[in-house]
Amino acid sequence: MKKLFFVFLAFGVAAFASEGESMIQAYSVVAAGVGLGLAALGGAIGMGNAAAATIAGTARNPGLGGKLMTTMFIAIAMIEAQVIYTLVIALIALYANPFLG
């Protein structure tokens, strides 16, 4: 774990080594990476909870398995949409940065 921390620290030092406009770009890269990481983590937790609840519901009442599976797929699509929205915002911050003036 310490090695991974030092690798990220080294990337941070390299990203923030310059000044001015490239500094804004460096912050944008870090923010996009952190934002995508948090969104992916939240999406994975949400999908895991949805799948676990569907499996538990199907185990309790196998007759409702089809309806529960359909509802789960809709919920997972909505959860994944949130992660995709984060990806779009991150790509905007990286390639069409509104803070560069």
pLDDT, tens only, 30-60 = 888 888 999 999 999 999 999 999 999 999 9
Cβ atoms 28, 99 nearer than 8 A: yes
Cβ atoms 64, 58 nearer than 8 A: yes
Domain layout of the chain by residue ranges: 22-95
Phi, psi of 96 (to 5 degrees): -130, 55
pLDDT, tens only, 70-99 = 999 999 999 999 999 999 988 888 888 777
pLDDT, tens only, 8-33 = 767 666 666 656 667 777 788 888 88
Q: Tokens 């990286």 correspond to what residue?
A: 94
The conformational region for residue 61 under phi > 0 = left, psi -120 to 50 = alpha, else beta, is beta
* Total-model pTM: 0.71
As its CATH architecture, domain 22-95 has Up-down Bundle (1.20)
